Structure 1
């Protein structure tokens, strides 16, 4: 199988005036997920996969254009990367989880989730069905990844560490490549 025919849209959540969640120590979701997303982009490109990014800097992009990019270019997969949050009064809530809407998206989500947990040893919050806009409206298998809680004492410390973000990016890329190898 040749990866050169595979196109994947990577969606770094939030951006610009929408920083997403702000957690312990002022850690911002937008910064965490842009860093991880750019690393996933590089790792997939090194494997010969064409990667489209919904954003490559700190700008605000509405949900419809994110989906439109993937659908218009007939991407083979769509992966949206986010960081979770709860109230600051719940620093005990930590872990990674991945969401899907379609059956094909569920298989992609499972591949990414299992690789994230294996690589990081984080709490496994599972693979879950959700009706998020970017999952419902994409025409290809899609997953929304939550790389941890910026409000979680354990996760926030890890997400603030560039070497941990590198491990997370490698795990997400590995999960995507595993899905590609088994389904294309």
Structure 2
């Protein structure tokens, strides 16, 4: 059983990556933005049930750029990212969870991977806890949490993790990522990792959640 009362009243931002004109990674008719939205919505629901105050940054196929923006596609993507970070900062969020789907030129790679900002020990704690639960619950990855220097990490003021839930470039995993049951299992692993990290911090036992 996963104890979740430590999440009560915690402000958690759930960010389904991409959206609108930005599909993210894709394979055939399958696009990253659709997978991240489905998983993000499920995660937001589970966190809300646990008492967290959830900010779901998008709830449809759109980005966070205001109407009338006339910059380039590159500028629009940067504006979208900056708006996501601003919303999290303005809310005084306790945790930022960004959902993405990985891709590689080779179809051989698979498995969920967590990234965290190297200058944040709390981000590392969350990342290692979530990665450990993905290994335990999903049973199809042995990856370890890694550092990253992505824009969203550098511009948010709270612990931030980026979760690559799998590889759209792997045919088998791409198919799994569209399935409701598989998405729900992923969400429970992410949720469990967040809860265990928060519980360890509340009990002052940060080493309790680190991956083996």
Q: State the number of aligned residues.
A: 181
Does residue 28 in structure 1 map to residue 31 in structure 2? Answer: yes
Does residue 6 in structure 1 map to residue 10 in structure 2? Answer: yes
Does residue 109 in structure 1 map to residue 127 in structure 2? Answer: yes
Is 119-128 or 145-154 further displaced after alignment? 119-128
**Structure 1: which 4+ aligned runs deviate by more than 4 Å?**
none
Tell me if structure 2 keeps the 8 A contact 1:97–1:124. Answer: no
Q: Gapped runs of 5+ residues in structure 2?
A: 65-79, 203-212
Q: What is the CA deviation profile of residues 145-166 of structure 1, one whole-angstrom value per residue up to 9, with x for unaligned ones? A: 0000001123112112111011
Aligned to 1:17: 21
Tell me if structure 2 keeps the 8 A contact 1:94–1:153. Answer: no
Q: What is the CA deviation profile of residues 81-128 of structure 1, one whole-angstrom value per residue up to 9, with x for unaligned ones? A: 1000112xx211111110000221111111111111211112222211
Tell me if structure 2 keeps the 8 A contact 1:45–1:51. Answer: yes
Tell me if structure 2 keeps the 8 A contact 1:7–1:76. Answer: yes
RMSD over aligned Cα, in angstroms? 1.3
| Structure 1 residue 67, shift from structure 2 partner | 0.7
Larger C-alpha radius of gyration, 1 or 2? 2
Q: Gapped runs of 5+ residues in structure 1?
A: none
Aligned to 1:126: 144
**Superposition TM-score, scaled by structure 1 size:** 0.93
